[in-house]
């Protein structure tokens, strides 16, 4: 959202709430499915680094408190998907999903889910779970964000154009950062990536040991995934390398590798998928159906209806960058009514509400 528009929109939300329009919207959309999306939770300062990806644990718990107080019916994903198709959803249905499988989900979010007796689905991407190393891309991005000086990259065996990232030039600095990430992800193996990340952190004055020991950029281990499943949380698919190629065999291989890693840990068949970074095409749908995927969630905002495609479920991405009033507007359904008023969704579809 444009930063100049955001205050105006929030003022509109505040006014609508005072006028009771949130309550009206809640009643009008009471049988439509809300799916909430979270990612990681802040062990250190990750929520300042990437507020759309990492959330303060206290802020997250306040969201769960709001769900409990507001009388929402928090359902397991599989049950909600089935009731959605049958047009038998209870009033105010909500599904909670968490993407990626960060260690912080196990450490910080799982206790909150158990405290409030909320079911939740955790979509786990498996490559970094198996490696048990920090996510290279995130470490590099974090170091470049945190470092307040020029970063000397000479002598690290990098391609010739990558030498120094000047602090004064943000555009060039970002370009160098992405050159580094692409080099690391495509040209070297995981041990070499860890060595490179450690070297870049050291030259930047960032404590790499603190990053690795806190596991702030790590995903869960196989043991933690098993413990989470045993605690009652729903572990589901998110591809092996956090990508869904636009080629049938490669896309199906990503799903099957992910499934082959996770299913022995949770002891059951996994048939629900979250698109990595929300990137997908309808061309993927028949390929996913061939490998028995029953539902797939996107990063497209909106409520879900009985005729919403099972492989195109919409979600609201909550995070540290989302204010409480924005969350309440989405949960109440008021934001959905605004989207309809703008003509983004045919009004006739709304009249199919029960």
Q: What is the pLDDT at residue 3?
A: 61
Q: What is the pLDDT at residue 295?
A: 98
Give pLDDT tens digits for 45-70.
999 999 999 999 999 999 999 999 99
* Distance between start and end Cα atoms, the chain: 32
Task: Name the percent of the chain lying above pLDDT 90.
Answer: 86
pLDDT surpasses 90 at 170: no
Q: For CA atoms 112, 60, 295, 106, give the dihedral sign.
A: negative
Task: Indicate the pTM of the whole model.
Answer: 0.94
Statement to judge: residues 346 and 251 lie in one domain = yes
Q: What is the pLDDT at residue 352?
A: 46
Instruction: Tell me if 206 is assigned to some domain.
Output: yes
Half-sphere exposure of 104 (CA within 13 A, CB side): 28
Per-residue CA distances from 337 to 28, 142, 231, 325, 342 (Å): 9, 38, 37, 16, 9
Minimal CA–CA distance to 228: which of 103, 56, 58? Answer: 103
Burial class (CB in 10 A: 0-12, 13-18, 19+), 46: buried
Distance CA 180, CA 176 (A): 6
Helix/strand number for the chain, H first, E second? 18, 12
Q: How confident is the prediction for the chain on average, in pLDDT?
A: 94
Quick one: tokens of 149? Answer: 């000086």
Across 1-10, 75-84, 152-161, 208-217, least confident range: 1-10
Tokens 């969201």, residue located: 63
Statement to judge: residues 141 and 126 lie in one domain = no
pLDDT surpasses 70 at 350: no
Q: What is the pLDDT at residue 351?
A: 42
Instruction: Tell me if 239 is assigned to some domain.
Output: yes
Tally of structural domains, the chain: 2
Single residue among 182, 214, 246 that ends a domain in this structure: 214
Give pLDDT tens digits for 324-337.
999 999 999 999 99
Statement to judge: residues 119 and 243 lie in one domain = yes
Distance CA 97, CA 119 (A): 9
Minimal CA–CA distance to 101: which of 240, 253, 283? Answer: 240
Instruction: Tell me if 6 is assigned to some domain.
Output: no
Statement to judge: residues 192 and 326 lie in one domain = no
Statement to judge: residues 160 and 197 lie in one domain = yes
Statement to judge: residues 100 and 149 lie in one domain = no
Q: Domain span at residue 38?
A: 20-130+235-299+309-350
Distance CA 64, CA 225 (A): 22
Give pLDDT tens digits for 22-50.
999 999 999 999 999 999 999 999 999 99
Give pLDDT tens digits for 80-138.
999 999 999 999 999 999 999 999 999 999 999 999 999 999 999 999 999 999 999 99
Per-residue CA distances from 2 to 6, 7, 8, 11, 27 (Å): 6, 10, 10, 15, 30
Banded pLDDT at 353 (limits 50, 70, 90): very low
Banded pLDDT at 347 (limits 50, 70, 90): very low
Statement to judge: residues 166 and 112 lie in one domain = no
Statement to judge: residues 126 and 143 lie in one domain = no
Half-sphere exposure of 156 (CA within 13 A, CB side): 26
Q: What is the pLDDT at residue 342?
A: 83
Distance CA 132, CA 188 (A): 17
Looking at the DSSP assignment, which residues form a beta bridge with residue 316?
36
């Amino acid at each position: 959202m444009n930063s100049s528009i955001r205050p105006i929109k929030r003022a509109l939300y505040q006014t609508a709430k005072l006028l009771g329009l949130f309550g009206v919207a809640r009643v009008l959309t009471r049988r439509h499915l809300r799916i909430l999306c979270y990612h990681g939770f802040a062990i250190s300062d990750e929520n300042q680094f990437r507020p759309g990806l990492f959330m303060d644990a206290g802020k997250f718990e306040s969201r769960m408190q709001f769900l409990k107080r507001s009388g929402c019916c928090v359902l397991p994903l599989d049950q909600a998907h089935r009731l959605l198709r049958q047009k038998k959803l209870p009033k105010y249905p909500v599904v909670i999903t968490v993407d990626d499988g960060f260690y912080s989900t196990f450490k910080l979010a799982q206790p909150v889910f158990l405290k409030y007796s909320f079911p939740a689905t955790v979509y786990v991407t498996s490559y970094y779970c198996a490696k048990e190393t920090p996510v290279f891309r995130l470490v590099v991005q974090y170091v470049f964000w945190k470092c307040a000086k020029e970063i000397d990259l000479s002598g690290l065996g990098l391609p010739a154009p990558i030498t120094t990232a000047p602090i004064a030039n943000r555009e060039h600095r970002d370009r160098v950062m992405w050159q580094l990430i692409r080099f690391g992800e495509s040209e070297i193996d995981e041990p070499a990536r860890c060595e490179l990340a450690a070297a870049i952190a050291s030259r930047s004055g960032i404590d790499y040991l603190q990053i690795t020991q806190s596991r702030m950029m790590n995903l869960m281990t196989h043991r933690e995934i098993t413990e989470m499943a045993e605690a009652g949380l729903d572990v589901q698919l998110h591809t092996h390398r956090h990508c869904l190629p636009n080629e049938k065999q490669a896309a199906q291989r990503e799903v099957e590798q992910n499934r082959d890693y996770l299913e022995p840990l949770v002891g059951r068949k996994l048939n629900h998928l979250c698109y990595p970074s929300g990137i997908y095409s309808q061309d993927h749908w028949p390929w996913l159906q061939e490998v028995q995927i029953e539902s797939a969630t996107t990063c497209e905002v909106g409520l879900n209806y009985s005729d919403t495609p099972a492989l195109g479920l919409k979600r609201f991405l909550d995070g540290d960058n989302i204010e409480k009033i924005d969350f309440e507007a989405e949960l109440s359904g008021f934001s959905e009514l605004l989207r309809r008023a703008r003509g983004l969704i045919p009004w006739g579809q709304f009249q199919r509400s029960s």
